[in-house]
Structure 1
Amino acid sequence: MKKKIVIGLEVLIADQPDYLRGKRLGLLSNPASIDNNFNHSSAIINQIFPGQLKALFSPQHGFYAEKQDNMIESDHFIEPELNIPVFSLYNETRIPTKKMFDQIDVLLIDIQDVGTRVYTFIYTISFCLEVAAKLKKKIVILDRPNPIGGTQIEGNILSKNRTSFVGRFPIPMRHGLTTGEISQLFNQEFHIGCDLTIIPMKGWKRQMYWKDTELFWIAPSPNLPTPQSCMLYPGQVIFEGTNISEGRGTALPFEIFGAPFLDTKKIKPEADELIKGAFLRPINFEPTSGKWKGIICCGFQIHITSKEEYKPYFASLLLMQLIIKHHKNNFKFKEPPYEYVFDQMPIDLILGSKTLRKKLTGLKDLITISNQWKEEIINFKSLSGKYHLYE
């Protein structure tokens, strides 16, 4: 029988630290911030530290995770049950203000990350660390599993000249760290200097994917509804920077992709030859929102057959390159803006590179390109290993 994972929130419940007693508390959370009995962390913290919870904070997609897409902001409001403010950190600013932090002494963070560089929650945390350091506030992170495991690392390291809210620091696309681990890395390696404490999980091992944890999956954002979508996300997210539907507006975001002009018969043979650990099943689908709304698209559903063999970033780069090769007159990269950057191509921000887009369009050999990242990955593994909290 698998050993039950005890998440950081539940460790906090069992062993309530004295340093939180009498402090004014804030909490950064969203609907995925629950314990194993579906109790939300805001209710739990209000119960175990009565009268101390003074403010709530929400990341991209909102406190209720209701906002669908990039650059769709959520408002500040008063949470009706607790009668305390909810400050949106995806509003007129992505950085918490002094006025927000003036209401608290300690910020608790209970956020489910998905292990991918472009997922913005880790950068919301990084901004909180920076402001907390400046204002002499403490941050406590209640750690949660990386749903796509902690052993596989993939992709190029973010270039310094392609930083944005989908990539603030030089990390690979798939980083292999938990929320607590990557927050420690940011805090130490980039000299943020926040008074940071991690409350680690019990029982989590690095090789575990979500299904190994026996925890319930609650979507941290609308378009990652399942652990399977998280496993594909490090690759399929690149299609956000193109006119290819990444499956938004369907029941299978990031698991399916396509466009009205896509010829699956041309793409599948070459893709099958190079993509390991997955089966590409040709499908037709009709998005109800987003790209190609109401128009039938031809494409694929990606079925992962071996999570150990499947390399999501490599696979999606290859698929994009094949689409460019066979549909150069129909395929398009999206124009700015993207995540509040108005002067750079969205695809360059997502890829975290100023050269990779040109290599893809120039049909350069992708295996050769990815081999050039090996030294970067080795260096990152050495760096990130210093912050591992789990075997």
Structure 2
Amino acid sequence: MTRVATGLDILFEDHDLKSKYPGNVALLCHNASVNAACTHAAFKFKEIFGPKFIKMFGPQHGFSTDAQDNMIETDHTIHPFFNIPVYSLYSETRVPDDDMLADIDHFFIDLQDIGCRMYTYVYTLTLLLEKCADKDIELIVLDRPNPVNGIDLEGNTLDLEFESFIGRHPLPVRHGLTIGELALMHQEFWAKSKANMKVVQMKHWKREMYFEDTKLPWLLPSPNIARAQSALTFPGMVLFEGTILSEGRGTVQPLEVVGHPKIKPFAFYATHLKDVIKNSDLQGFALRPMTFLPTFHKYSDWVCGGFQLHITDRSICKPWRIGQLLLRELYRYLEGDFKWIDPPYEYNYTHMPIDILNGTDKLRYWVEGNEPLEALNDFEQLDAYKMQLNTVKLY
């Protein structure tokens, strides 16, 4: 199988870049903004554009992708090697101000997304598009693969009453878009006025591909997505951020495991959870009883009992449904030791964090009411979204 060429790779194949982009250049990027040879975009931008490469920007977790968790902001700085400003778009602002955008003619965006609504990089992009709609700045989105494929959709569509920085647009949990396609979706359906934007398409990417199929190197796009497998477990396991249970931060398998000091994993699995899974329609996965010791974050230095989600057949696995089922069963099992965490979460001081994550409060009621798994079908009404999706597909 031919290796996929990202938008960044395609850009650097063009020997006429200097003439196509004669003005000053800025780059929004992070740790995973590399070409197929693992060379960071900033090196190539400096090489090609020289003194016209004047600014960089970083999303949540920072340009260096080292800041943990939500609502941990990063500072603006001067890069010690490139000697240009690096502005944080997860600081006192999520939107670049006019001073940050001053003197920029061409603004490149190169961010690896993970194909899930609750991941913030696409919203950094759409906020930038909105900010630049009335400015004389060309925006160039360098497209990258959706690591969990561009076909499968899963989960409920966001109710805009629960809009936040982990959900600005009416997307399902697994949205099936590349970051370039999502930019086009924003311009077509959600933008009040359109920015001067184009997408540099990939070559050889096909919608059915998972990241492992691309033959590209995986570099963590955020501190707790250390491997491509984590992108597939994320839609279900991220839900536990809305609870006091550990989602595995502080371990080497974050967002693949869930646990709590009061869980007796082997007994709970053998006497209850195994049968619940067997009687469900969920396939393509295994839950492995385990214990783990977080070194930071929730339950630091406390032994937690819990489970690791293993994907055994990704073509039929439904990680969002698995996460909802686990929430429901652990809510019952832990009883008074299970708690939803309180606001704030992603700068929303009103709604419960689990409702922000779910994009609705109805799924919390589904958990608390011990509703049947089949009732999740009522949340996945995606016909309108599918019609929109067909208008923006690039591949």
CA shift for structure 1 position 372: 1.3
What does residue 152 of structure 1 align with? 152
Q: SS of the counterpart of 2:309?
A: strand
What does residue 13 of structure 1 align with? 12
CA shift for structure 1 position 380: 1.1
Gaps of 5+ in 1: none
The answer to whether the aligner puts 1:77 opposite 2:73 as a matched pair is no
Q: What does 1:320-335 align with in structure 2 at a 5 Å threshold?
A: 320-335=327-342
In the alignment, the residues of structure 1 paired with residue 278 and residue 128 of structure 2 have an alpha-carbon distance, to the nearest angstrom, of 44
Q: Is the 8 A contact 2:26 2:104 kept in 1?
A: yes
CA shift for structure 1 position 366: 2.4
CA shift for structure 1 position 103: 2.9
Amino acid at match of 1:320: L
Q: SS of the counterpart of 1:316?
A: helix
CA shift for structure 1 position 386: 1.1
Q: What does 1:56-67 align with in structure 2 at a 5 Å threshold?
A: 56-67=56-67
Amino acid at match of 2:71: M
Change (3 A) 1:378 1:17: farther
Amino acid at match of 2:390: G
In the alignment, the residues of structure 2 paired with residue 134 and residue 267 of structure 1 have an alpha-carbon distance, to the nearest angstrom, of 54
In the alignment, the residues of structure 1 paired with residue 211 and residue 100 of structure 2 have an alpha-carbon distance, to the nearest angstrom, of 34
What does residue 305 of structure 1 align with? 312
Q: What does 1:155-170 align with in structure 2 at a 5 Å threshold?
A: 155-170=155-170
The answer to whether the aligner puts 1:382 opposite 2:387 as a matched pair is yes
Amino acid at match of 2:179: T
CA shift for structure 1 position 136: 2.9
What does residue 205 of structure 1 align with? 206
Of 266-275 and 102-111, the range deviating more from structure 2: 266-275
CA shift for structure 1 position 18: 6.6
Change (3 A) 1:19 1:332: farther
What does residue 98 of structure 2 align with? 98
In the alignment, the residues of structure 2 paired with residue 54 and residue 160 of structure 1 have an alpha-carbon distance, to the nearest angstrom, of 37
CA-based RMSD of the aligned residues comes to 1.3
Q: Is the 8 A contact 2:30 2:64 kept in 1?
A: yes
Change (3 A) 1:133 1:327: same
In the alignment, the residues of structure 1 paired with residue 54 and residue 109 of structure 2 have an alpha-carbon distance, to the nearest angstrom, of 14
Q: Is the 8 A contact 2:26 2:107 kept in 1?
A: yes
CA shift for structure 1 position 47: 1.3
What does residue 39 of structure 2 align with? 39
Amino acid at match of 2:202: M
Of 151-160 and 132-141, the range deviating more from structure 2: 132-141
The answer to whether the aligner puts 1:243 opposite 2:244 as a matched pair is yes
What does residue 271 of structure 1 align with? 277
In the alignment, the residues of structure 2 paired with residue 389 and residue 6 of structure 1 have an alpha-carbon distance, to the nearest angstrom, of 14
Q: Is the 8 A contact 2:139 2:195 kept in 1?
A: yes
What does residue 4 of structure 1 align with? 3
In the alignment, the residues of structure 2 paired with residue 23 and residue 315 of structure 1 have an alpha-carbon distance, to the nearest angstrom, of 49
Amino acid at match of 1:103: D
CA shift for structure 1 position 306: 0.4
What does residue 113 of structure 2 align with? 113
CA shift for structure 1 position 254: 1.0
TM-score, length basis structure 1: 0.96
Q: SS of the counterpart of 1:135?
A: coil
Report Cα offsets for 1:59-86 as digits up to 9, x if no partner: 0001100101111110101112221100
In the alignment, the residues of structure 2 paired with residue 21 and residue 297 of structure 1 have an alpha-carbon distance, to the nearest angstrom, of 53
In the alignment, the residues of structure 2 paired with residue 190 and residue 29 of structure 1 have an alpha-carbon distance, to the nearest angstrom, of 24
Report Cα offsets for 1:269-309 as digits up to 9, x if no partner: 31343231101110010111111111111111111110011
In the alignment, the residues of structure 2 paired with residue 103 and residue 247 of structure 1 have an alpha-carbon distance, to the nearest angstrom, of 43
In the alignment, the residues of structure 2 paired with residue 217 and residue 272 of structure 1 have an alpha-carbon distance, to the nearest angstrom, of 34
Report Cα offsets for 1:212-270 as digits up to 9, x if no partner: 00110000011000001111001110000001111110000011111111243233331
Of 80-89 and 187-196, the range deviating more from structure 2: 187-196
Report Cα offsets for 1:21-40 as digits up to 9, x if no partner: 32111100011000111111
Q: What does 1:148-227 align with in structure 2 at a 5 Å threshold?
A: 148-191=148-191, 192-227=193-228
Report Cα offsets for 1:79-128 as digits up to 9, x if no partner: 12221100000000011111101131121000000000010000000111
Runs of 4+ in 1 over 6 A off after TM superposition: none
Q: What does 1:47-58 align with in structure 2 at a 5 Å threshold?
A: 47-58=47-58
Q: Is the 8 A contact 2:21 2:106 kept in 1?
A: no
Q: SS of the counterpart of 1:49?
A: helix
Of 132-141 and 29-38, the range deviating more from structure 2: 132-141
Q: Is the 8 A contact 1:159 1:354 kept in 2?
A: no
In the alignment, the residues of structure 2 paired with residue 276 and residue 388 of structure 1 have an alpha-carbon distance, to the nearest angstrom, of 29
Amino acid at match of 2:118: V
Amino acid at match of 2:137: K
Of 359-368 and 199-208, the range deviating more from structure 2: 359-368
In the alignment, the residues of structure 2 paired with residue 17 and residue 389 of structure 1 have an alpha-carbon distance, to the nearest angstrom, of 23
TM-score, length basis structure 2: 0.95
In the alignment, the residues of structure 1 paired with residue 19 and residue 259 of structure 2 have an alpha-carbon distance, to the nearest angstrom, of 52
Q: SS of the counterpart of 2:258?
A: strand
Gaps of 5+ in 2: none
CA shift for structure 1 position 17: 4.8
| 1:287 aligned residue (284, 290, 294) | 294
Q: SS of the counterpart of 2:313?
A: coil
CA shift for structure 1 position 353: 0.3
The answer to whether the aligner puts 1:345 opposite 2:359 as a matched pair is no
CA shift for structure 1 position 19: 6.7
In the alignment, the residues of structure 1 paired with residue 168 and residue 19 of structure 2 have an alpha-carbon distance, to the nearest angstrom, of 31
What count of residue pairs does the alignment treat as equivalent?
387
In the alignment, the residues of structure 1 paired with residue 212 and residue 373 of structure 2 have an alpha-carbon distance, to the nearest angstrom, of 31
Q: Is the 8 A contact 1:23 1:106 kept in 2?
A: yes
